[in-house]
A and B are shown apart, each in its own frame.
Chain A
């Protein structure tokens, strides 16, 4: 079966510091991968998605970036964090083919607080 991991689970960072969040998926190959952000008490905002290694599409212009160095690894980064970057960051995956092609499954998330 497929498993999705995210780390760290929680993170407290000062304004202006860099960020690196990691997401990995097990048990599948060539998945579509997604980064979402959820502000406190709010909905889910799609930040980036990727359909393959090195292929990144951005939904919202901001000071964040994403990379996919390996098939099942998705990284979210920032060079300088802003207070508004605080939130719950969720990675998700979906199969690239098959009957469940449309379904997305979320990782456990990283709770980021920028101070």
Chain B
């Protein structure tokens, strides 16, 4: 099955700096790569996603890049704010029956005011 690895597991940045989280996947059939943000005790919320026919996608302060050849994708958050502090999860899908997601182990991001 799919194996998704995520790094780093924890990340601290000063407010206003950028944060980068990286993931790798193993299944070349995966064609959809979402990122979720989970605040303490809450459900994961989809914040951005990218499909395999696109190399980069941006939404205000967040962007995601995808390198299909190397099987890795990254989340970039610019001008970080304290409210960006949360756990972030990447995932890769198995695009056949059921479109299952396989998640990375998460990155705990702390933005220091």
Residues of A within 8 A of B36 (CB): 106
Residues of B within 8 A of A59 (CB): 100
- Chain B, interface SS category: strand
Nearest Cβ on chain B to A85's Cβ, whole angstroms: 19
A37-65 interface bits toward B, Cβ cutoff 8 Å, 1 = contact, 0 = none: 00000111110011100000101000000
Between-chain CB contacts (< 8 Å), 21 pairs: A32-B98, A34-B101, A43-B89, A43-B105, A43-B106, A44-B89, A49-B98, A51-B97, A51-B98, A57-B97, A94-B99, A101-B99, A102-B32, A102-B49, A103-B34, A103-B46, A104-B46, A104-B99, A104-B101, A105-B46, A109-B43
Contact (Cβ within 8 A) A44 B44: yes
Known: A32-B98, A46-B100, A49-B98. A104 touches B34 (CB 8 A): yes
Residues of A within 8 A of B73 (CB): none
- Chain A, interface SS category: strand
Cβ-defined partner of B100 (8 Å) among A49, A106, A108: A49
How far apart are the CA atoms of A93 and B69 in the complex, in Å?
30
Contact (Cβ within 8 A) A44 B103: yes
Could you list which residues of chain B lie within 8 angstroms of chain A, going by C-beta atoms? 31-32, 34, 36, 42-46, 49, 51, 89, 91, 93, 95, 97-106
How far apart are the CA atoms of A69 and B42 in the complex, in Å?
27
Residues of A within 8 A of B43 (CB): 90, 106-109
Total A-B residue pairs with C-beta atoms closer than 8 Å? 57
Residues of A within 8 A of B91 (CB): 44
Residues of A within 8 A of B51 (CB): 102
Q: How large is the interface on A (under 10, 10 to 19, 20 to 34, 35 or more residues)?
A: 20 to 34
How far apart are the CA atoms of A45 and B101 in the complex, in Å?
9
Cβ-defined partner of B93 (8 Å) among A102, A107, A108, A109: A102
Nearest Cβ on chain A to B20's Cβ, whole angstroms: 19
How far apart are the CA atoms of A42 and B105 in the complex, in Å?
7
Nearest Cβ on chain B to A39's Cβ, whole angstroms: 11
